[in-house]
């Protein structure tokens, strides 16, 4: 009898589900789908143009260029800036592998700089010591949805004549000192991978910039190096935002602020109510750093035990990220194993992301808090 009651009280909480979000707008999404089929123009049609216009307006930038995914967005920006072999690009040591791969794919070398342990974003006070003649750019990542400290980063970039590229893949709608993420550097890369705060129903990405030269170049590079059909000026690639995905994104963009607001609300409740002394909480939302909590990650010295405990209670978790870039097999060739990056290592060993998604029920949020506090 007791055992049965226990089972009844146990909840199953996924790490993330897009179902509540998409159920709410399924009618709008289906309409968008039908419209694209009716118009029957599947690459670079009206929907794509309109989405680019609307997303540029949202980010308060002059240009938005749709591309195939977030990785391509970063690579195309680097290529448009003529960054390549022999160059170095500074990135945070605790980011998703895509930030590093984009640099490597151009032939340049990613240089890893440690994050601040309390914000997880690149520590701007550690950037200058790695700058040298080969350094061409800095890619701050607005990790987990929190804007990086762009003022300091832009100051350093100005001092050494470096380009700045935001990796905004996790931070759609985040605001830094009253300015939208995506408008704070020479160019920004967004991903519309389904699970991101603004996600397509498949792959997608875009570049935002106020620099017309970069805008024209990335558009050309992602379209076979061509401005005019069958005239190819450079060795381009094929990376364009699908018309169908653009149509879905237009629908979803209209709801993004509401969804982000709910994420912040859940995060605030977590931050206020999780009081286990063994658990370190992520940074708070503030007027200066308007976090959008793409990921809500806690840290604990007992991470693996905590993870196992939560999973046994029916709460799914994810580690962002379990293996730092300098320990990845793919980066063995660059001899990264010789660099000391204790913070990236520490974070990979202690970090644990807990469920946070639009449509998460109050009793589910309460349950997660209760279980963490009981650990």
Ligand X SMILES: *Cc1c(COP(=O)(O)O)cnc(C)c1O
State which residue, 94 or 313, has the beta carbon closest to ligand X.
94
Host H or E run for residue 82? none
Instruction: Give the range of 31-39, 64-72, 173-181, 332-340 binding ligand X by CB under 6 A.
Output: 64-72
170 binds ligand X (CB under 6 A): yes
Which one of residues 167, 186, 242, 243 is an interface residue with ligand X (CB under 6 A)? 167
State which residue, 121 or 350, has the beta carbon closest to ligand X.
121
State which residue, 163 or 294, has the beta carbon closest to ligand X.
294
| DSSP secondary structure string for all residues of 286-338 | -SSEE---SSEEEE-TTHHHHHHHHHHTTB--B-S-SS-GGGSGGGGGGTGGG
191 binds ligand X (CB under 6 A): yes
Which one of residues 61, 69, 106, 121 is an interface residue with ligand X (CB under 6 A)? 69
Which one of residues 51, 55, 96, 331 is an interface residue with ligand X (CB under 6 A)? 96
Contact 13, 20 (CB under 8 A): no
Minimum separation from the CB atom of position 74 to ligand X (A) = 6
Contact 365, 269 (CB under 8 A): yes
211 binds ligand X (CB under 6 A): no
Q: How many residues bind ligand X (CB under 6 A)?
A: 15
Backbone angles phi, psi at 224, to 5 degrees: 60, 25
Handedness of CA 319, 362, 201, 254 (dihedral sign): negative
Contact 73, 67 (CB under 8 A): yes
Rounded distance, CA 97 to CA 100, Å? 5
**Residue in the shown chain whose Cβ atom is closest to ligand X:** 70
141 binds ligand X (CB under 6 A): yes
Build a one-symbol-per-residue string for 213-242: x at contacts with ligand X by CB under 6 A, - elsewhere.
------------------------------
Can you give the length of the chain in residues?
A: 375
Minimum separation from the CB atom of position 116 to ligand X (A) = 16
169 binds ligand X (CB under 6 A): yes
Beta-strand pair 179-180/351-354: unpaired
Host H or E run for residue 47? helix 46-59
**Can you give the binding site for ligand X, defined by CB under 6 A?**
69-71, 95-96, 98-99, 141, 167, 169-170, 191, 193, 203, 205
């Amino acid at each position: 009898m007791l055992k049965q009651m226990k089972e009844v009280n146990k909840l199953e909480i996924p790490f993330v589900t897009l179902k509540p979000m998409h159920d709410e707008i399924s009618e709008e999404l289906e309409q968008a789908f039908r419209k694209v089929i009716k118009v029957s123009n599947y690459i670079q049609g009206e929907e794509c143009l309109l989405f680019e216009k609307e997303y540029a307006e949202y980010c308060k930038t002059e240009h938005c260029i749709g591309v195939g995914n977030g990785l391509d967005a970063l690579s195309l920006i680097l290529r448009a800036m003529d960054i390549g072999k022999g160059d170095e690009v500074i990135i945070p040591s605790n980011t998703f592998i895509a930030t590093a791969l984009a640099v490597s794919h151009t032939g340049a070398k990613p240089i890893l700089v440690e994050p601040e342990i309390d914000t997880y974003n690149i520590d701007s006070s550690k950037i200058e010591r790695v700058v040298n003649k080969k350094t061409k750019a800095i890619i701050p990542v607005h990790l987990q949805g929190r804007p990086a400290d762009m003022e300091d980063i832009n100051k350093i970039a100005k001092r050494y004549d470096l380009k700045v590229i935001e990796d905004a893949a996790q931070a759609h709608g985040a605001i830094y000192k009253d300015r939208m993420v995506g408008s704070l550097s020479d160019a920004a890369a967004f991903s519309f991978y389904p699970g991101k705060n603004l996600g397509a129903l498949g792959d997608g990405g875009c570049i935002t910039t106020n620099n017309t030269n970069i805008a024209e170049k990335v558009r050309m590079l992602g379209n076979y190096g061509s401005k005019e059909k069958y005239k190819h000026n450079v060795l381009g690639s094929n990376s364009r935002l699908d018309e169908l995905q653009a149509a879905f994104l237009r629908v979803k963009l209209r709801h993004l602020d509401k969804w982000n607001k709910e994420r912040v609300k859940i995060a605030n409740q977590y931050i206020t109510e999780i009081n286990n002394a063994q658990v370190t909480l992520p940074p708070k939302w503030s007027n200066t750093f308007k976090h959008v909590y793409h990921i809500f990650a806690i840290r604990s010295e007992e991470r693996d035990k905590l993870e196992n405990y939560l999973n046994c209670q029916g709460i799914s978790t994810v580690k962002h990220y379990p293996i730092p870039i300098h320990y990845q097999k793919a980066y063995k060739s660059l001899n990264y194993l010789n660099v000391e990056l204790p913070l990236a290592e520490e974070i990979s060993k202690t970090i644990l992301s807990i469920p946070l998604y639009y449509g998460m029920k109050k009793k589910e949020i309460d349950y997660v808090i209760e279980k963490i506090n009981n650990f």
